[in-house]
Amino acid sequence: MSECEQLAQLCEHLGAPRAQAVTMAAQLIKRADQLAMERGIPRETALAGLIEVLVKGRAGEVPVRFAPGPPADDGK
């Protein structure tokens, strides 16, 4: 089973219709390649981060790195 097929299967498991899951898988792979080049990180790391966002987002959670910090103290 190819990487794209595995990701499509994951997307289907998370509730996407088959056609949408295939599109999402292709987009995840493309974006992982872009992030790896832009940030100089391993492709697998980029893909793992995107999958984390996908899974947590589906569960209604926010990954820690995107969670809002404490409100800024504006001195008032």
Q: For residue range 17-50, list pLDDT tens digits in order.
A: 999 999 999 999 999 999 999 999 999 999 999 9
State the pLDDT at residue 76.
59
Torsion of CA 19, 21, 22, 24, to 10 degrees: 120
Q: Which two tokens stand for residue 36?
A: 């790896």
Q: How long a stretch of residues is the chain?
A: 76
pLDDT at 35: 96
Q: How big is the chain by its Cα radius of gyration, in Å?
A: 16
Q: Distance between CA atoms of 11 and 7, rounded to whole angstroms?
A: 6
pTM of the predicted model over 0.85: no
Neighbour tally for 23: CB within 10 Å: 14
